[in-house]
């Protein structure tokens, strides 16, 4: 019984359509740290890698960013790569680039062919978001539209509306991460995920963050979230659990969902 929609790269299902996909972030500050992390993470065989380029101290030099992206590709053992600059507005690290420079960096990286997915925030200026959509079409990469609220969990209908907005704006995948202030908020996120599955036709990725939110990282896929972000070496957001722990829980849940 399929709970989630599969992600595709160049017409192929990622990890053969397995659900949920496990994605491990790379958050090193320099080349050596990123490549060391990569080695540790690849050995754990996640289904996806995310390079959080906003953590990288060399981000202002596009040439270095492209070189490192290619190096990541070479050493990633065929695991598809997501390229992400998270803005400070949505919980990312401070960087010295203006938005036009960020988009130029996205352009160079996507055109190098070394990444499979681009993550770009829906809260960006519409003209910038349109450029990200066009770039994804031009390069055959998939665009993940994202939205993060590190303070609170909006009501379920507002979460669904954001995900609908991502589809309307031309994204290929719709992602939302929100912070719970109590257990009810975790339910709100799960409820909105289930609802969004019925409302839009894109794969949805959703998570509640922090300690309570870690529950959604373990079983949010049952409600329709296609990907769970988990720790390979270091977390990129609060509440991510180690890949090994996630796998243990997934095995148990998958067995019980089959009826024991
Ligand atoms: O958007 C997301 C989700 C995330 O914020 C999380 O909560 O796991 C982690 C980020 O690295 C990623 O880009």
Number of continuous H segments (helices) and E segments (strands) in the chain? 8, 10
Residue 175 catalytic? yes
Which ligand 1 atom sits closest to the C-alpha of 52?
11
Rg of the chain over all Cα atoms, to the nearest angstrom: 17
217 marked among binding-site residues: yes
Which ligand 1 atom sits closest to the C-alpha of 82?
13
229 lines ligand 1 (CB under 6 A): yes
How high is the ipTM of this complex?
A: 0.98
pLDDT mean over 123-136:
98
The residue whose CA is least distant from atom 5 of ligand 1 is 237
| Whether pLDDT at 259 is above 90 | no
Ligand 1 mean position, distance from CA 44 (Å):
19
CB atoms closer than 10 angstroms to residue 74: 10
pLDDT tens figures, 98-122: 999 999 999 999 999 999 999 999 9
pLDDT tens figures, 33-78: 999 999 999 999 999 999 999 999 999 999 999 999 999 999 999 9
51 contacts 26 by C-beta, under 8 angstroms: yes
Ligand 1 mean position, distance from CA 253 (Å):
23
Q: What is the DSSP string of 130-175?
A: HHHHHHHHHHT-EEEEEEEESS----HHHHHHHHHHHHHTT-SEEE
118 lines ligand 1 (CB under 6 A): no
119 lines ligand 1 (CB under 6 A): yes
Where exactly are the structural domains of the chain?
18-257
| Whether pLDDT at 201 is above 90 | yes
CATH-assigned architecture of domain 18-257: Alpha-Beta Barrel (3.20)
Residue 148 catalytic? yes
Residue from 21, 54, 86 to probe ligand 1 pocket by mutation (most atoms less than 8 Å from CB): 86
SS3 (DSSP) at 23: strand
221 marked among binding-site residues: no
67 contacts 101 by C-beta, under 8 angstroms: no
Residue from 41, 46, 50, 151 to probe ligand 1 pocket by mutation (most atoms less than 8 Å from CB): 50
Ligand 1 mean position, distance from CA 1 (Å):
27
Ligand 1 mean position, distance from CA 39 (Å):
21
**How far is the C-alpha of 40 from the C-alpha of 162, rounded, in Å?**
35
Q: How confident is the model at residue 230 (pLDDT cuts 50, 70, 90)?
A: very high
């Amino acid at each position: 019984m399929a709970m989630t929609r599969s992600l595709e790269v160049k017409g192929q299902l990622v990890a053969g359509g397995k659900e949920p996909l496990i994605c491990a972030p790379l958050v090193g500050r320099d080349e050596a740290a990123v490549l060391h992390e990569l080695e540790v993470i690849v050995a754990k065989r996640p289904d996806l890698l995310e390079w959080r380029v906003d953590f990288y101290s060399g981000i202002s030099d596009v040439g270095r960013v492209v070189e490192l992206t290619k190096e990541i590709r070479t050493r990633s053992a065929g695991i598809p790569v997501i390229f992400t600059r998270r803005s400070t507005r949505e919980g990312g690290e401070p960087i010295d680039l203006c938005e036009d420079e960020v988009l130029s960096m996205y352009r160079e990286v996507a055109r190098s062919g070394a990444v499979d997915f681009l993550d770009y925030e829906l809260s960006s200026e519409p003209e910038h978001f349109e450029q990200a959509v066009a770039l994804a079409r031009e390069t055959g990469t998939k665009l993940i539209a994202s939205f993060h609220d590190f303070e609170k969990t909006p009501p379920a209908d507002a979460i669904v509306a954001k995900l609908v907005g991502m589809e309307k704006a031309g994204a290929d995948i719709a992602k939302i991460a929100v912070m719970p202030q109590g257990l009810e908020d975790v339910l709100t996120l799960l409820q909105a995920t289930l609802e969004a599955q019925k409302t839009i036709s894109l794969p949805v990725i959703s998570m509640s963050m922090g300690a309570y939110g870690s529950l959604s990282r373990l079983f949010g896929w049952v409600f329709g979230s296609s990907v769970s972000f988990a720790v390979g070496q270091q977390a990129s957001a609060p509440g991510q659990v180690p890949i090994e722990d996630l796998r243990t829980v997934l095995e148990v849940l998958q067995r019980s969902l089959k009826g024991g």
